[in-house]
Amino acid sequence: MLKKTMLTGIILSLMLIFGCSEDGTGPGDIDDGDNGDDPPAASATANAGIDSDEVVGFEVVADGSGSSGSSSVSYSWSISNHPANSTATLTDANTANPMFIPDLPGEYELQLEVTSDGESDTDAVVFSAIAKRLFVDANNGADDETDGYLENKPMKTITKALSVYGQNESNAFLEIDTVHVTEGVYDQANGESYPLSFSGDLIVKGDQGVERNNIHILSPDVERDPAIYIGEGVTLRHLKIENGYTGGTFNGDPDAIFVTSGTDVETSRVILEDVTITMNAEEGKGISTGNNLTVELRGYEGARNQFDGNNVSLAYTNRFNTGNVTLNISDTDFSNPGDGGVIDIDDIYNLTINVSNSSFNAGSGNINDSAFELKDKVDLMLDEVTITSQSGSETGERFKYGIVMNNAQPETNIEVKNSTIQFTQWSAIKMRESVVKVTDSIIEGVLTQQPSVNLAYDAIQQLDGTLVVRGTTFRDLNTSAIDIGGPISPNENEFYVDLGTLEDPGNNTFQNVGGWDVQVSRGDYLGDNDGVKTEIPALGNTWSNQAIPRCATNYENGEIYVDPDGGSLRYSNTGVCN
């Protein structure tokens, strides 16, 4: 009986401890029926996000959304470390995603504290702010150490900006690739140190909201080198660049821009877009170049470039026996060149010049030699180009020539298409031992300032080489339209003239031509291959008499003249002048 009583007591004790039902509900269940689990302990875990690289001047958003807590989470952010002199501040510091704008390059450490159910935790994140832009304002800037990284706190000088840019390699927080320049005169009085030198992958651009000529890079009126040097990779945009040297004795080459030598003509590139370039001395040029590079002179978003020679200067020349250069010109207006004209080529090798959608106007009060004076071999292509007088009318001051070669150039190739050469004082094109192709163009107003017909300077003067003309109108000329001078012995470039064939008609039009439409002026009268002795095709053209052309020895009586020893010219299947 005692044993039974003792056993019953043990069982009751066990029931009190463990309960007596499968669900464990009973007077001994301290969690009131939750399967025996205790309530979770209060907790908070801060997660400030991942370290990252950001850009100075651009908004940075931190991300604490990965934080957690046992109930709702509250956030408190602060900037615990920043570059010296930074004044950056946080906004929305009590949210998961606060924001700030880094104002100086360097590291910004943000501290996050989260709280939940009375518990708290902290974490930190580091943002590395990289400076990619500099701002320059001659009127409102300053050149202190903290200036230039924000638009509302600009530097004063381009010189200072270039100094900071030069630290890219040595400062991990500098990757400057753009310099923004606003209205002002950037001259010596402003604190600039000339010449300025731009290099590397750098864009220097003026404020598009300001008139371009009011963003003025102006070197002083002293004997010195170019106003600016530009190396491969540089882009200059929406700026006026002027060399202030006014002439006299000089030391160096006082150009507006000198483009330094690159490494390869295909990959070394300099871009000048939406710029004004001007000069003040004959000794200086607008642009000159070194070797192994391509220069792009082009418009930007509808804005055109302007070269103003101030009636003293060339726009372009090469210096120092240069070679391997490509000059691509588009959307550019050349005006007021000096006596030397606009583009002068001499002592160079492997030069290519491509010009499109551009104009060349003669200067005032000068003897403008030419739009293009070629003294050495070049590949020249003009497409939608106008070469004209100063005013663009018959009364304006004129170029002597549109394109001229003063020496034999058997390796020069010229293509003129969709272009107009007008109102030249002498010939529109004078070629020597070269290849010239003229298509779908207009040549007009040549020698019209002369009181009578002058056959010394024809619209196109051909002396040896290859001449092909298609779809071109010659009109209002006070001379002959085309003068074929024939090969020169020894002939270094195969002589060939094609003014239209049966398979490919010329479709050239001659209107109001004072001299001959075409003259073959030199025959091989000595039999030494010096002069024309072959037949020249000129089929499918419209002649100035609006009928079958007449062969004559006097331009008043005919449209075609062939020297008695000058071969022949065929104007139709059955029509030949000889």
With 0-12 CB in 10 A as exposed, 13-18 as middle and 19+ as buried, what is 166?
Answer: middle
Can you give the pTM of this predicted structure?
A: 0.88
CA distance to 19, 77, 111, per residue, from 46 (Å): 42, 11, 10
Residue 23 pLDDT more than 70? no
pLDDT for 431 beyond 60: yes
3-state secondary structure of 212: helix
Residue 37 neighbours by CB distance under 10 Å: 7
Express each pLDDT in 298-321 by its tens digit: 999 999 999 999 988 899 988 767
Alpha-carbon gap, residue 161 to 133, rounded angstroms: 10
Q: Is 301 exposed, middle or buried (0-12, 13-18, 19+ CB in 10 A)?
A: exposed
Q: What are the two backbone dihedrals, phi and then psi, of residue 49, each rounded to the nearest 5 degrees?
A: 95, -170
Mean pLDDT value across residues 207-211:
97
Q: What is the mean pLDDT of residues 453-468?
A: 92
Assess whether pLDDT exceeds 90 at residue 19: no
Range 141-157 average pLDDT: 95
**Contact, 212 vs 241, CB < 8 A?**
no
97-121 pLDDT per residue, tens: 999 999 999 999 999 999 999 999 9
Mean pLDDT, residues 438-462: 94
Torsion of CA 170, 175, 177, 180, to 10 degrees: -100
Mean pLDDT, range 121-144, rounded to an integer: 97
pLDDT average, residue stretch 2-7: 36
Q: Distances from the Cα of 458 to the Cαs of 96, 326, 382, 389, in angstroms?
A: 81, 30, 20, 18
Say yes or no to pLDDT of 534 above 90: no
The DSSP symbol for 261 reads: -
In the numeric block, the tokens 């615990």 are attached to 80
Taking only the tens place, the pLDDT of each residue in 367-408 is: 678 999 999 999 999 999 999 999 999 988 999 999 999 888
* Per-residue CA distances from 308 to 233, 257, 362 (Å): 25, 13, 11
For residue 485, the model assigns a pLDDT of 87
Backbone angles phi, psi at 37, to 5 degrees: -80, 140
Strand ranges in 343-441 using DSSP code E only, listed in sequence order: 343-345, 349-361, 368-374, 379-388, 399-405, 413-417, 420-422, 429-439
Cβ burial, residue 316 (10 Å; 0-12/13-18/19+): buried
Distance CA 525, CA 505 (A): 30
Q: Dump the DSSP string for 112-180.
A: EEEEETTEEEEEEEEEEEEEEEEEE-TTT---STT-SSBTTB-BS-HHHHHHHHTTTTT-TTEEEEEEE
Q: pLDDT grade, residue 7 (50/70/90)?
A: very low
Residue 492: per-residue pLDDT: 52
| Pairwise CA distance, residues 227 & 542, whole Å | 52
For 311, half-sphere exposure in the C-beta direction (CA atoms, 13 angstrom radius) is: 8
Amino acid, res. 132: K
Q: What per-residue confidence (pLDDT) applies to 410?
A: 87
All domains of the chain in start order, with CATH: 44-129 (2.60.40.10), 403-578 (2.160.20)
